[in-house]
Chain A
Amino acid sequence: MCIPLPANKKVAMPEKLKLNSIPMNKQPPEVRRRNPYEVAQGYTYEQAVEEAKRCIQCKKPACIQGCPVDIDIPSFVKALAEGDLPQAAKIIYGTNTLPAICGRVCPQETQCQENCTLGKKGDPVFIGRLERFVADWARENPEESGIFKIALPKPTGKKVAIIGSGPAGLTCASDLAKAGHKVVIYEALHLAGGVAVYGIPEFRLPKKIVQAEIDYLVNVLGVELKRNQVVGRSATLDELLADGYHSIFLGIGAGAPMFLNIPGENSNMVYSANEFLVRLNLMKAYLFPAYDTPVKVGKRVAVVGAGNVAMDAARWAVRMGADEVYIVYRRTEAEMPARIEEVENAREEGVIFKVLTLPVRVIPSAHGSVEAIECVQMELGEPDESGRRRPIVKPGSEFCMEIDTLIPALGTQPNPLVPRQTPDLKTTSRGTVVADEKGKTTKEKVWAGGDIVTGAATVISAMGAGRRAATDIDARLKNHS
């Protein structure tokens, strides 16, 4: 499929800037509202090459600065424009171990694409879609792409335990295995992948893609994966160190749900977004009863919050047959933390946005299920420490929304299990683990990175943290041999 050009041949600069991007195929809203399949269907080869050709190859590429892991974006885009897919894949995989995931879920609009020079006059180059295309091609054509062929160095005899198999843990594991260390991943759940398997829905990130990344780690890089291991309850960090591990990396995420803390919140049919998403994504409740775990979704669903988690929960509720699905948010659309693309997708699928609204009480029915929520109207006041205007309650604005399912999606916080069992691991008042820029914690031989250090953030920042920690761990292990 690819015809590599001679290396010295330059791509001619386009005479005229192409300001309009190539649109990507998506399932139409009325179709995707009722199925769990991926919404965005990706570029074809021709579309990807066309889009790549829009890149003007800036002398000082600003896009790279927007990338938390410094992918050499102009070079991979150039290789793609020239049809040299193996080269494009090689460049991406050189710095990003999980590009098929990142190409789908990274907030490119606030990272690489935000800095794109073309974006100042028209559409930026859709770098994420190109990354996704190259990664999918590489995965589906392992022989041609060659990225999975890797000569592992001689084993160093050093052993590292990775706790948690989210993006942070997987990246750290992959780098350390490539450096020749023996790596063992401990994962609490029965499936590896972290939020990518239990949180982000199939319709945004097909689970077979995550599985392929894990298979690569286990089958090609020789990483050992131990599932069903709740570290802190099973082994403690000290026990793992005593067991012969030379270092530990903690990538346990921020997985504990937050609630609104309002009266009636423990009524039935009030789900944390985590519970709702775990049932659907990890346990595949959308296939009940072929799969054993059920999920109950009513006819009128309110999701509280406006981050990615809230959009995912609302869009699942649509797919599970709810008649009306609301996003209830106390600020306005301008402040919504979710990716713009996902807000747009949700709106197209019929999600109704109720902004400047805050639930204050859950009203249960006689048999204990939510029947309505009492809300108040908000208005925006002075900016707060986050720079966003602070929502304040409009006096006397109480009103009721009749609903039968309530999903608080207010974000997550670190699970205190490991810190509680590890007194010499310093944590902040928010429960996050204290670590320096290389991921080193206050506890000897223990590093940490990803959401457990930053609080809920992004896949790519977790990967970056996993990589920096791996570099530091590798350096120390080599020095101490």
Chain B
Amino acid sequence: MNRILVKKELAPKIKLIEFENRDIASKAKPGQFVVIQMGEKGERFPLTISGIDPGKGMVRVIFNEVGKSSKRLGALAEGEEIGNVAGPLGNPAEIEKFGTVLCFGGGVMTGPMAYEAAAFKKAGNRVITVIGARNKELLILKDEMNALSDKLYVSTDDGSEGYKGLDFLRDILEGEKVDRVIGMSVATATLRTLCELTRPYGVKTIVSLTPIMLDGTGMCGVCRVVVGGQTKFACVDGPEFDGHLVDWDLLESRKRVYSHEERVSTLLDEQVGKDCASRFQQTRK
């Protein structure tokens, strides 16, 4: 189970993995996620589902190699197995015919956004997609997105390709009637900017939130977010919420709790990796 069928590098430190898990592939819907654990000592970490093929029993994830767990996942080769994968978790996205839907996929989350945007298209919506990244090198899935959308815009933080930043969205929102905006990004600040941009136009803006998670099944409460003044568990009540109601300061602060420990973990892992590699080389000499 969970054998890797395909592995690709889409951009520096951004990997795509397709693995075999018939249970998840037969059930997953856009907007849902899986929780992965690499080995019995590993932490449980969530990745949004970027696509499935029920016939082949295939599940696709696209992820940034940021720290210990994601780097270890990225180091697996085709044919190897991912330890534990639970899913699909979270509520499926609300896919309906709304009219015109603007789908924003930031960075690595362009992956799951492509999956969700395709579902909006299939439901009969006019789909405008916006893909964003820090710079040109980190843009992913441009062709796929182009093929499934009625219109595609590209944005980078540094302006190396397409529009610089997200301010141009105002022109789109002023130029035509958009019925719904969907935003996905692991960078909370980017989603927040998106919501502030759409707020004056009164367009319902749904965002997929990525607080720290542990079990992903509703039993610990570490993923709590405040939406419209109410505490919600993102893993069971979300992960998609109305972005105009999210308490962003709280989310940003809660995401930072373990940054020190994460760094320790990653540095140690790299150091141990190096030590092992050098010892290995020495024994080979």
- The minimal Cβ–Cβ distance linking A229 to chain B, given in whole angstroms, is 7
Contacts of B236 in A (CB 8 A): 415-417
Question: B217, A417: Cβ atoms under 8 Å?
Answer: yes
Contact with A along B115-142 (1 / 0, CB 8 A): 0000000000000000000000000000
Question: B43, A293: Cβ atoms under 8 Å?
Answer: yes
Question: B221, A257: Cβ atoms under 8 Å?
Answer: yes
Question: B217, A415: Cβ atoms under 8 Å?
Answer: yes
Within 8 A of A (CB), among B42-79: 42-44, 68-69
Interchain CA distance A294-B222 in the complex, whole Å: 13
Question: A278, B220: Cβ atoms under 8 Å?
Answer: yes
Question: B253, A368: Cβ atoms under 8 Å?
Answer: yes
Interchain CA distance A278-B223 in the complex, whole Å: 14
> With an 8 A cutoff between CB atoms, is B257 at the interface?
yes
Partner of B231, one of A266, A271, A296: A266
Within 8 A of A (CB), among B209-262: 214-215, 217-222, 224, 226, 231, 236, 249-250, 253-254, 256-258, 261-262
Most B CB contacts (10 A, CB to CB) among A190, A255, A268 go to: A190
Contacts of A293 in B (CB 8 A): 43-44, 214
> With an 8 A cutoff between CB atoms, is B88 at the interface?
yes
Question: B220, A274: Cβ atoms under 8 Å?
Answer: yes
Question: B221, A274: Cβ atoms under 8 Å?
Answer: yes
Known: A228-B86, A234-B88, A269-B257. A259 touches B43 (CB 8 A): no
Closest to B253 in A: A368
> With an 8 A cutoff between CB atoms, is B172 at the interface?
no
> With an 8 A cutoff between CB atoms, is B17 at the interface?
no
Question: A292, B68: Cβ atoms under 8 Å?
Answer: yes
> With an 8 A cutoff between CB atoms, is B41 at the interface?
yes
Contacts of B8 in A (CB 8 A): none
Interchain CA distance A289-B269 in the complex, whole Å: 9
Interchain CA distance A368-B253 in the complex, whole Å: 6
Question: B221, A189: Cβ atoms under 8 Å?
Answer: no
Size of B's binding interface in residues, CB under 8 A: 42
Within 8 A of B (CB), among A391-429: 415-417
Question: B265, A278: Cβ atoms under 8 Å?
Answer: no
Question: B254, A266: Cβ atoms under 8 Å?
Answer: yes
Known: A255-B219, A268-B253, A278-B215. A230 touches B265 (CB 8 A): no
Known: A257-B221, A275-B221, A289-B264. A189 touches B88 (CB 8 A): no
Contacts of A54 in B (CB 8 A): none
Contact with A along B179-222 (1 / 0, CB 8 A): 00000000000000000000000000000000000110111111
> With an 8 A cutoff between CB atoms, is B23 at the interface?
yes
Contact with B along A218-243 (1 / 0, CB 8 A): 00000000011110011100000000
Question: A289, B86: Cβ atoms under 8 Å?
Answer: no
Question: A290, B41: Cβ atoms under 8 Å?
Answer: yes
Interchain CA distance A416-B89 in the complex, whole Å: 14
Contacts of B105 in A (CB 8 A): none
Interchain CA distance A266-B250 in the complex, whole Å: 8
> With an 8 A cutoff between CB atoms, is B107 at the interface?
no
Question: B218, A415: Cβ atoms under 8 Å?
Answer: yes
- The minimal Cβ–Cβ distance linking A60 to chain B, given in whole angstroms, is 44
Question: B27, A283: Cβ atoms under 8 Å?
Answer: no
> With an 8 A cutoff between CB atoms, is B85 at the interface?
yes
- By Cβ-Cβ distance, the 4 closest A-B pairs, closest first, are A294-B261, A368-B253, A275-B220, A228-B86
Complex A-B: 17 CB contacts under 8 Å = A189-B215, A189-B217, A228-B87, A234-B23, A234-B24, A255-B217, A256-B218, A259-B231, A268-B253, A272-B221, A292-B43, A293-B44, A294-B258, A294-B261, A296-B258, A415-B219, A417-B218
Extra inter-chain contacts (11) besides given A272-B222, A284-B41, A296-B257, CB under 8 Å: A190-B37, A227-B84, A233-B87, A234-B87, A259-B221, A268-B254, A278-B219, A283-B44, A288-B261, A289-B261, A368-B249
B interface residues (Cβ-Cβ under 8 A, vs A): 23-24, 27, 32, 37, 41-44, 68-69, 83-89, 214-215, 217-222, 224, 226, 231, 236, 249-250, 253-254, 256-258, 261-262, 264-265, 268
